[in-house]
Amino acid sequence: MSSSSSSNVPSSTPPSQGFVETGPGLPRDYGVTRLVLIPRDPQWMHAYWEVAPYTWQEAEKNFGSAVRTSGRAVLRLHCGDGASAKTFDVNIHLDARNWYIFSPARGGLWHAELGMLLPDGRFVLLAISNEIRLPTGQVSDVIDEKWAVMKADWERLFELSGGGKLGAGSLDVARMLAQRWELLRAVSSWMGAPGGASWSGMPGSSWARPPQAHKGFWLEADCELIVYGATEPDAKVTMQGNPITLNPDGTFSFRFALPDGKLEIPIHATNRDGDMSKSVDFTVTRATQRT
């Protein structure tokens, strides 16, 4: 008899149309006795099985040839244990190799036994399945998540977004994040200030006019310096002669004020054993002109 899927509910799925390339066929038998139980939804389970020749030989040795000739194939389903345990049998066709099982109760831990039920009521066990948990089919009662409205803390949001903790291969991404971070800080500090002129790019916001600005057209701009990098997580690193603490992945990042003039930023790293070192020296010059 060919393998088929069976249940006590007729199928409404129409046959597939056209040619489908399925590749080489799977073997019908693997020579291993096993029973597998799979949850489908809150009230349906699916079981598939194989009974190898050595299992039949053992069963006939202990119970005689009546196991095959007079026995009735059943799946015995078990849910829970103790006083609350539930057990019921489902009649099956053994050659079908798989079966859909309707559960009388939703949820719970289930496992199945495949066997032959003899006329005298004895159950000949052939295979035991894995244990599964059926879903309850209800809205979860887990409400661990708690939501709250918080005041924007741009420093904290930048840290949570991964700023300053990117790997050595992500320096371009770090540069982009740093640029966006500076823009966010500028917008957050200027938005909504009294006396500001409306900016069409952000409805409802305003750019704060600095106190010293005169009536009429105005412009304010400034810049800072962001230094970032990465090395071995256990290396010793100094910046401008001062030791710095690395992130667990070996990355680091710092933001400096950048006044007019020349700024030297030497960075030196030594490996854990102290026999290898690398240096990177930055020289930054700023000259601000206001007209």
The residue-averaged pLDDT of 201-225 equals 59
What pLDDT, on the 0 to 100 scale, is given for residue 243?
Answer: 92
pLDDT at 11: 45
- Decide if pLDDT at 4 tops 60: no
Q: Decide if 197 is inside a domain.
A: no
Residues 92 and 175 in one domain: no
Q: What angle do CA 43, 48, 50 make, to 5 degrees?
A: 155
In this structure, the answer to whether residues 60 and 160 fall within a common structural domain is no
Residue 113 backbone zone (phi > 0: left; psi -120 to 50: alpha; other: beta) = beta
Looking at residue 215, its pLDDT comes to 61
Do 164 and 231 lie in one domain? The reply is: yes
Domain check: are 278 and 173 in the same one?
Answer: yes
Please indicate, yes or no, whether residues 169 and 98 belong to a single structural domain of this protein: no
Check whether residue 124 and residue 167 sit in a common domain: no
- Tens-digit pLDDT profile for residues 32-91: 999 999 999 888 999 999 999 999 999 999 999 889 889 999 999 999 876 678 899 999
* Residue 274 shares a structural domain with residue 159: yes
Q: Is residue 143 in a domain?
A: no
Q: Which domain holds residue 181?
A: 154-190+222-286
Measured CA to CA, the distance from residue 207 to residue 192 in angstroms comes to 7
- Round the average pLDDT of the chain to a whole number and report it: 77
**124 touches 71 (CB < 8 A):** yes
* Residue-wise pLDDT tens digits, 145-198: 666 655 555 566 556 555 555 444 455 556 666 666 666 565 555 444 444 433
Q: How many domains does the chain have?
A: 2
User: Are residues 244 and 121 located together in one domain of the fold?
Assistant: no
Give the model's pLDDT for residue 123: 94
pLDDT of residue 164: 53
Which pLDDT does position 263 carry in this prediction? 85
Pair type for strands 251-257 and 242-244: unpaired
Any idea what the CATH number is for the domain that residue 282 is in?
2.60.40
Mean pLDDT comparison of 69-73, 137-141, 174-178, 201-205, highest-scoring range:
69-73
Whether residue 87 sits in one domain with residue 182: no
Please indicate, yes or no, if residue 112 is contained in any of the structural domains. yes
Higher-confidence residue of 233 and 160: namely: 233
* 227 against 140, higher pLDDT: 227
Predicted confidence at residue 214, as pLDDT, reads 52
pLDDT attached to residue 78: 92
- How confident is the model at residue 25, as a pLDDT? 78
Q: Are 77 and 37 in contact (CB under 8 A)?
A: no
- Summarize the confidence of residues 257-280 as an average pLDDT: 90
Q: What are the beta bridge partners of residue 6?
A: 99
Whether residue 254 lies inside any domain: the answer is yes
Residue 122 lies in a domain: yes
Bigger pLDDT: 1 vs 35? 35
Same domain for 266 and 233: yes
- Please check whether residue 117 lies inside any domain of the structure: yes
- CATH code of the domain containing 78: 2.60.40.10
Pick from 7-16, 82-91, 130-139: least confident:
7-16
- Least confident range from 2-6, 98-102, 261-265, 266-270: namely 2-6
Name the DSSP class of 6. B
Domain co-membership, 99 together with 46: yes
Do 159 and 280 lie in a common domain? yes
In a domain, 263, yes or no: yes
The stretch 225-239 carries a mean pLDDT of 90
Whether pLDDT at 266 is above 90 = yes
9 located within any domain? no
